[in-house]
């Protein structure tokens, strides 16, 4: 009995019956109510305040690009400038967006002094600017010079009406050099040369109080109790802040060991050494935080992005990925004979789809144990760091085409940041392809989470041979998934119906400017809670025989082979014109 | 009885001390990783070029979702506008 009750406390629980009181007593429903409340507030703040002349600017940029496409067989300087102007239009860059960003900001990057993560004085900022200025000015001059050379080369090609192949190639090469110089100028050099003084501490205290009150609304109606949650919330928040600070240390950041893993490790270190005091325990509401975060994540699953890179990208991201997921799961069950099906599917999804985010969504959908999620996330971060270095090094050393290399990286490396970093090593086109394939793959987790939730209710969470009725599936179904899917459908529809303005107002406004930073906070609070309520022994039990590592390595090997093969077929055999266009 | 209580007290105190030592050891391990092992790894010939590229591009490699990374928005815009007339 005690064992069963302990097991229950470790998993996301829904019982096989329906009561209307679930609507205000269960964290699944509270995740939906709170998640949608945030999304509505975001819409109310951003939608009535578009950037000035947004529609005119978008129309002008689109017209310029169409005219340049008709004029030249490659992307001209004017085309790139119009594209940059379009990218620069963001609702969150408006004054209200900048104010919100200040409130929701997490600890920042630092190198040797952790305090710089929270506070930078005016004199220290001025010192940093002065130190970075010579290199930045040099980069600015280099970009200016490269632009002049590109203009001259383009003019020569234009004089021949873009019919001279040699001149076209010279112009293309000069434009490519200008883009590279511009990229360098806008990278870390600009960040260092334009740094301003900041003090994040008051905002962090403010946001902690807001989140505490926010979560205490649901806690009042559930068994937790508002006062109980408030008593320990500050500590969970503090651990989350410290974890994020460690993840922002420049070396950690470059390896990709972000705040989430430090939140888990820090929490585990505390709970397995000095222990967690009783007053903290009601604040360790992993499922409450994670499910609310997942409803917000649902809004970022924008189905209109699927066709971004044409059918080739869809095949690479949406055919290979589920194939690898299913085969890895079967391999885990039949060959490795893994005891825990939830660990098996969580590691399979984490490895084949998109790392941490897929692990979170899948673990919540199949009610995996906290320790299982921890194992999946830990392995993902470790292998991502290895692959982020090994894959681009290999691609460059064998001289692989950047489109193929980019698609391979996007389809196989787990986390988006690592994909972009590895893709950047292949150049601009490689990075663009890698980032886009990964983005399309990210969208897949909506379908995966829904599929796993249904499969678990109908096939796994029942005795062998038992027929499960539709109502029984509904009783057992993790209801927050409904909010997750609904948010995805509503925001996908809004994005499409708004046309080009959708990117400016929804993607670069409500989502990236409001719900995303809040969701990041919720996930790190959830991971701090996981760490504080996990124990090493339970983890060691799941690691028995190293089966999760074997599963990950075998699955990833299959993923690497299949993705490379399919990407080659798609971009060089079936749709070679897409590759030609991307290189233009 | 009194002796037993005293033993339990010292045992609890010993356990607490062990806990704090464990916590300090864990923190020290993280510090060694962050300030010695990982920076050393960055100087290795096969790792250094990638790490330099990451530092120059200012990408936060720890971001786990597309919307956390600015480059995805730039990539999306470029790819969409490139393939618009296909």
Q: What integer pLDDT is reported at residue A7 of this predicted model?
A: 47
Domain ranges, residue A526: 241-583
Q: What integer pLDDT is reported at residue A428 of this predicted model?
A: 87
A212 in a structural domain: no
A538 in a structural domain: yes
CB contact under 8 A, A512 and B67: yes
Q: How far is B40 from chain A (nearest CA, A)?
A: 10
A79 in a structural domain: no
Nearest in space to A177 (alpha carbons), one of A156, A152, A150: A150
A120 in a structural domain: no
Residues 37-56 of chain B with CB under 8 A from chain A are 38-39, 41-42, 46-47, 49-51, 53-56
The residue of B59, B69, B73, B80 whose CB has the most chain A CBs within 10 angstroms, and thus the best one to mutate to test that interface, is: B59
CB contact under 8 A, A389 and B82: no
Closest partner CB to B79 (pick from A188, A270, A309): A309
A352 in a structural domain: yes
Q: How many CA atoms lie within 13 A of A68 on its CB side?
A: 21
| Residues near B58 by beta carbon (within 8 Å), at least 6 away in sequence | A187, A188, A191
CB contact under 8 A, A432 and B79: yes
A89 in a structural domain: no
Q: Residue A62 belongs to what H/E stretch? A: helix A54-71
Q: Which chain A residue is nearest to residue B38, measuring alpha carbons?
A: A251
Helix, coil or strand: residue A198: strand
Please tell me the least confidently modeled range out of A16-30, A482-496, A517-531: A16-30
Question: CA-CA distance, A550 to A385, in Å (whole number)?
Answer: 18
Assembly ipTM: 0.88
CB contact under 8 A, B75 and A436: yes
| Residues near B57 by beta carbon (within 8 Å), at least 6 away in sequence | A183, A187, A188, A420, A421, A424
Percent of chain A with pLDDT strictly greater than 90:
81
Closest partner CB to A251 (pick from B38, B63, B85): B38
Q: What integer pLDDT is reported at residue A19 of this predicted model?
A: 82
Q: Are A360 and A446 in contact (CB under 8 A)?
A: no
CB contact under 8 A, B64 and A355: yes
B68 interface with A at CB cutoff 8 Å:
yes
A270 interface with B at CB cutoff 8 Å:
yes
Helix, strand, coil shares, percent, chain A, to 5 = 80, 0, 20
CB contact under 8 A, B79 and A253: no
**What's phi and psi for A217, nearest 5 deg?**
-60, -55
Percent of chain B with pLDDT strictly greater than 70:
83
Q: How many CA atoms lie within 13 A of A583 on its CB side?
A: 12
Q: Are A287 and A550 in contact (CB under 8 A)?
A: no
Contacts of B50 in chain A (CB under 8 A): 388-389, 392-393, 421-422, 425
Tens of pLDDT, residues A95-154: 999 999 999 999 999 988 999 999 999 999 999 999 999 999 999 999 999 999 999 999
Structural domains in chain A (count) = 1
| Residues near B40 by beta carbon (within 8 Å), at least 6 away in sequence | none
Tens of pLDDT, residues A314-353: 899 899 999 999 999 999 999 999 999 999 999 999 999 9
A425 interface with B at CB cutoff 8 Å:
yes
Q: Which two tokens stand for residue B9?
A: 């007290």
Question: CA-CA distance, A252 to A246, in Å (whole number)?
Answer: 7
Question: CA-CA distance, A478 to A350, in Å (whole number)?
Answer: 19
Residue A466 confidence class, pLDDT cut points 50, 70, 90: low
Residues 363-402 of chain A with CB under 8 A from chain B are 388-389, 392-393
Tens of pLDDT, residues A33-43: 999 999 999 99
Identify any residues that bridge with A110 across adjacent strands, giving them in sequence order.
Answer: A249
Q: What integer pLDDT is reported at residue A6 of this predicted model?
A: 47
Task: Identify which has the larger pLDDT, A1 or A521.
Answer: A521
Contacts of A252 in chain B (CB under 8 A): 34, 38, 62
């Amino acid at each position: 009995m005690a064992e069963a009750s302990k097991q229950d406390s470790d998993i996301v629980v829904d019982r096989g019956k329906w009561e209307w009181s679930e609507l205000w007593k269960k964290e699944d429903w509270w995740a939906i109510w709170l998640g949608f409340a945030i999304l509505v507030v975001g819409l109310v703040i951003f939608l009535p305040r578009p950037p000035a002349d947004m529609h005119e600017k978008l129309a002008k940029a689109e017209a310029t690009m169409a005219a340049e496409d008709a004029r030249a067989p490659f992307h001209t300087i004017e085309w790139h400038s119009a594209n940059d102007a379009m990218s620069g239009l963001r609702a969150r860059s408006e004054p209200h967006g900048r104010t919100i960003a200040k409130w929701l900001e997490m600890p920042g990057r630092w190198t040797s002094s952790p305090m710089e993560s929270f506070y930078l004085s005016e004199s220290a900022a001025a010192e940093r600017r002065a130190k970075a200025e010579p290199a930045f000015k040099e980069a600015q001059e280099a970009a200016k010079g490269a632009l002049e050379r590109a203009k001259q080369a383009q003019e020569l090609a234009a004089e021949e009406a873009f019919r001279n192949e040699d001149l076209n190639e010279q112009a293309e090469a000069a434009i490519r050099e200008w883009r590279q110089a511009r990229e360098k100028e806008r990278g870390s050099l600009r960040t260092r040369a334009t740094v301003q003084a900041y003090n994040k501490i008051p905002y962090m205290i403010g946001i902690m109080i807001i989140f505490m009150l926010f979560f205490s609304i649901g806690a009042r109606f559930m068994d937790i109790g508002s006062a109980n949650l408030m008593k320990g919330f500050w500590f969970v928040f503090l651990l989350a802040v410290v974890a994020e600070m460690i993840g922002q240390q420049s070396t950690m950041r470059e390896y990709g060991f972000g705040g989430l893993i430090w939140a888990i490790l820090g929490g585990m270190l505390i709970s397995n050494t000095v222990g967690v005091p009783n007053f903290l325990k009601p604040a360790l509401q992993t499922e409450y935080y994670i499910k609310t975060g997942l409803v917000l994540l649902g809004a970022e699953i924008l189905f209109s992005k699927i066709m971004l890179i044409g059918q080739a990208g869809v095949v690479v991201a949406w055919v290979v990925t589920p194939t690898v997921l299913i085969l890895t799961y079967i391999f885990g069950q039949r060959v490795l004979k893994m005891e825990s099906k939830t660990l098996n599917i969580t590691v399979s999804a984490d490895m084949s789809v998109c790392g941490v985010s897929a692990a979170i969504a899948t673990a919540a959908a199949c009610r995996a144990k906290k320790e299982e999620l921890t194992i999946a996330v830990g392995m993902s971060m470790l292998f991502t760091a290895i692959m982020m270095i090994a894959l681009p090094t290999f691609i460059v050393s064998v001289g692989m085409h950047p489109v193929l290399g980019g698609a391979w990286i996007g389809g196989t490396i787990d986390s988006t940041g690592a994909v972009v970093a590895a893709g950047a090593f292949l150049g601009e086109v490689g990075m663009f392809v890698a980032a886009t394939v990964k983005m399309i793959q990210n969208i897949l987790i909506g379908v995966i989470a829904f599929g796993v939730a249904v499969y678990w209710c109908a096939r796994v969470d029942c005795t062998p041979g038992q027929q499960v009725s539709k109502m029984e599936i509904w009783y057992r179904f993790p209801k927050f998934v409904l909010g997750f899917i609904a948010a995805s459908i509503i925001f996908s529809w809004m994005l499409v119906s708004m046309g080009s303005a959708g990117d400016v107002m929804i993607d670069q406004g409500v989502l990236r400017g409001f719900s995303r930073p809040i969701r990041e906070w919720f996930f790190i609070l959830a991971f701090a809670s996981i760490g504080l309520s996990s124990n090493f022994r339970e983890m060691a039990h799941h690691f028995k025989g190293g089966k999760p590592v074997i599963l990950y390595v075998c699955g990833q090997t299959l993923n690497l082979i299949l993705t490379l093969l399919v990407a080659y077929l798609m971009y060089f055999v079936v749709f070679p014109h897409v590759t030609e266009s991307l290189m233009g | 009885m009194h002796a037993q209580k005293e033993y339990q007290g010292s045992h609890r105190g010993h356990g607490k001390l062990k806990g704090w030592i464990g916590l300090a050891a864990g923190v020290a391990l993280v510090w060694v990783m962050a300030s010695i092992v990982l920076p050393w790894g960055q100087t290795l010939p096969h790792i250094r070029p990638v790490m330099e590229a990451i530092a120059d591009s200012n990408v936060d490699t720890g971001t786990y979702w597309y919307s956390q990374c600015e480059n995805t928005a730039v990539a999306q815009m470029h790819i969409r506008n490139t393939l618009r007339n296909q």
